[in-house]
Amino acid sequence: MASDAQNNPFIRNLASSDKKVRDQALDSLRTYLGAQSHISELDLLKLWKGLFYCLWMQDKPALQQRLSRDLASLVSTLRAPVVFPFLRAFFTTIAREWGHIEALRLDKYLYLIRQYVNASFSFLSRNKWKRDLLEQWNSVVEEIPLECQDMKIPNGLRYHVMDVWVDELEKFGGDEWESEDRSEILEELIVPVERMAKEGKLKPLREAAKECLADERLRAWRGQEDEVLDQSEEDDEEVEWGGFAD
């Protein structure tokens, strides 16, 4: 499964316990990526398969977190036309490989996903939350991590992205999200979550989206803290089953 990464010395060097070797490999990757104005989808998927297993091979917790932060920092080195294809390849890879992640390895990938949500918001923030960029970001999110209907997308990925959404967004403005000039940006950012709350194929997905939207911080930013939440929803037969009747 990890043969591509194991046979690639560059990828092995990224997972090295030797800081000098690891930093040199990361610098080389940053230099390469930063020089590209276009990278094909196939090449990005090949790269991300290698990076996925680079983290797979890293066993030391402290180095796992360092590597995840380093991988997320790659977004800041990319030229604008490469950013969203790179993010799409990342989420595609995580979705594809999710079923292979063992329980003991799950935490490091959850941390990597959190770092990538953060890196995405950081890119949008640096670019003044431009509407066209927000739309491109939403397109990636609605296509993969918060896609509403396709059960080939792992629900664990969906749940985790919604779980970290407000935490990471808070780091880029905090209470400033309450200001009127940010309201339109905020409403655009939460479109994928609101869509999941309405259109999620399974009731637990819709409920998870509603929990995200009900976060006290998000409600305060949206000026909803005094509103009464309507939690009612008809039971869904495809999700809930009360067992055989007596």
With cut-offs at 50, 70 and 90, classify the pLDDT of residue 96.
very high
Task: Give the Cα separation of 73 and 68 in Å (integer).
Answer: 9
Task: Give the Cα separation of 167 and 59 in Å (integer).
Answer: 27
Task: Give the Cα separation of 173 and 128 in Å (integer).
Answer: 12
- Write down the pTM of the prediction: 0.88
Condensed to tens digits (0 to 9), the pLDDT of residues 193-246 reads 999 999 999 999 999 999 999 999 999 999 987 665 554 444 444 444 434 444
| pLDDT, position 237 | 42
| pLDDT, position 191 | 98
Would you kindly state where each structural domain of the chain is located, as residue ranges? 1-125, 128-224
| pLDDT, position 228 | 54
**CATH code matching the domain that covers 1-125, chosen among 1.10.760, 1.25.40, 2.30.30, 2.40.128:** 1.25.40
Q: 214: closest CA among 174, 161, 177, 162?
A: 162
Question: DSSP state, 6?
Answer: H
Token digits of residue 36: 């590209």
Range with the poorest average pLDDT among 15-29, 98-112, 152-166? 15-29
Q: How many helices (H) and strands (E) does the chain have?
A: 13, 0
- Average pLDDT for residues 110-123, to the nearest whole number? 98
Query: The tokens 């909803």 sit on which residue?
Result: 224
Measured N-to-C along each axis, helices 131-143 and 80-97 cross at an angle, to the nearest 10 degrees, of 20
Q: 196: closest CA among 222, 228, 164, 162?
A: 162
With cut-offs at 50, 70 and 90, classify the pLDDT of residue 3.
very low
Token digits of residue 99: 């079923």
With cut-offs at 50, 70 and 90, classify the pLDDT of residue 22.
confident
Condensed to tens digits (0 to 9), the pLDDT of residues 136-151 reads 999 999 999 999 999 9
Of residues 225 and 175, the one with the higher pLDDT is 175
| pLDDT, position 125 | 97
Sign of CA dihedral 219, 221, 222, 226: positive
Residue 226 makes CB contacts below 8 A (sequence gap 6+) with none
Give how far Cα 138 sits from Cα of 7, 121, 144, Å. 35, 11, 10
Condensed to tens digits (0 to 9), the pLDDT of residues 49-79 reads 999 998 998 888 998 999 999 999 999 999 9
Task: Give the Cα separation of 116 and 110 in Å (integer).
Answer: 10
| pLDDT, position 109 | 98
With cut-offs at 50, 70 and 90, classify the pLDDT of residue 9.
low
| Mean pLDDT (the chain, rounded) | 89
Task: Give the Cα separation of 138 and 25 in Å (integer).
Answer: 32
Residue 108 makes CB contacts below 8 A (sequence gap 6+) with 55, 58, 61, 64, 65, 68
Task: Give the Cα separation of 99 and 148 in Å (integer).
Answer: 19
Task: Give the Cα separation of 158 and 141 in Å (integer).
Answer: 10
Task: Give the Cα separation of 109 and 39 in Å (integer).
Answer: 24
Task: Give the Cα separation of 186 and 136 in Å (integer).
Answer: 15
Condensed to tens digits (0 to 9), the pLDDT of residues 159-173 reads 999 999 999 999 998
